Amino acid sequence: MSGFLFSDIIFGPVKSRRLGVSLGINLLPTEQKFCSFNCIYCECGWNPENIKKDIKLPGRQEIYELLEKKLIELKNINLIPDAFTFAGNGEPTIHPEFDLIVKDTIALRNKYFPDAKTTVLSNASMIHKDKTFEALKLVDKNILKLDTGSQEQFERICQAHAKMQIEDLVDYLCKFHGELIIQTLFLRGEYNGYIIDNTTDYEVGLWLEHLKKITPKSVMIYSIDRSTPAKNLEKISREELNKIADKVHKIGLKTEVY
């Protein structure tokens, strides 16, 4: 399964369940997914088995020019975006000029649509890098993923390319001192002979302990919305998501269910 890929560097605006009218910025190739994780539920599909060594990422100047052109078009038709969102075909913070592109985007936002929010949707795999960390602190909505409580489910669901410990990831998330939003996708099923389930009392309990340490501004809870590369995965009901959200409220954190 190839998955859903964005064919443009600047795309939309699209109506987002979480962000309103969102103008997307894809810093990754338009012909394939490029990510540090290989999540079993990713709407972009699987990472290619053999990633090209000479893979070409869009350059900073090209992104700047395309974004400004789009913003002028939107201004001319009086279409006002709620958000400028770094998303697309994988992990946006992989781009080597991510920090500079964030600064460019903020400058263009201020010039054309100063009320729009800058947003990053990230799996948090690169936040150990100083430039990435500092760039994420500049955006209005720094939305970072934490899908599991245990190392076991983290490895089964997210399938990071480099060995990562969830405790280390939580420690890095804590360094934002609460200036971030955590997003978590809940699901259950089976993959490669393993049970997939981050909704059990055990998993949710560990996840809540992580949230207590991280103290995010809010937590976004959602489930599968599109087809997934792995089969036999189950979408979690709104009722069950609300029950998990209630547990987050009880530890004093704002939560939204999508």
- CATH number of the domain encompassing residue 227: 3.20.20.70
What does the pLDDT average to over 69-87? 97
pLDDT score recorded for residue 209 = 98
Residue 232 has pLDDT above 70, yes or no: yes
Helix (H, G, I), strand (E, B) or coil at 163: coil
Task: Tell me: do 75 and 180 sit in the same domain.
Answer: no
* Residue after which a domain boundary falls, among 144, 172, 189: 144
Q: Which residue has the tokens 């936040």?
A: 127
Query: Averaged over 213-241, what is the pLDDT?
Result: 96
- Say whether both 75 and 107 belong to one domain: yes
Residues 187 and 257 reside in one and the same domain = yes
Regarding whether 165 and 138 lie in a shared domain, the answer is no
Same domain, 130 and 4: yes
Which of 123, 144, 165 lies at the terminal end of a domain, its last residue? 144
- Whether the pLDDT of residue 2 is over 70: the answer is no
- Claim to verify: residue 43 and residue 96 sit in the same structural domain: yes
34 φ, ψ to 5°?
A: -140, 100
Mean pLDDT of the chain: 95
Indicate whether 203 pLDDT > 60: yes
Same domain, 81 and 55: yes
Residues 157 and 214 in one domain: yes
Residues 137 and 219 both lie in one domain: no
Query: Which of 48-52, 214-218, 237-241 shows the lowest mean pLDDT across its residues?
Result: 48-52
pLDDT for res 101: 98
| Residues 62 and 169 both lie in one domain | no
Confidence label for 1 from pLDDT (cuts 50, 70 and 90): very low
pTM attached to this predicted model: 0.93
Query: Residue 54 above 80 pLDDT?
Result: no
Q: Which of 127, 144, 161 is the last residue of a domain?
A: 144
Cα(104)–Cα(211) distance, integer angstroms? 32
pLDDT above 70 covers what percent of the chain? 97
Domain count, the chain: 2
225 CB neighbour count, 10 Å cutoff: 12
Whole-Å CA distances, 113 to 49, 65, 77, 79 = 40, 16, 13, 10
Do residues 44 and 134 share a domain? yes
The alpha carbon torsion through 11, 14, 19, 24 (nearest 10 deg) reads: 0
Residue 49 confidence (pLDDT): 79
Residue 56: its pLDDT value, please?
Answer: 87
Q: Which domain does 220 fall in, by range?
A: 146-258
Say if residue 125 is in the same domain as residue 20: yes
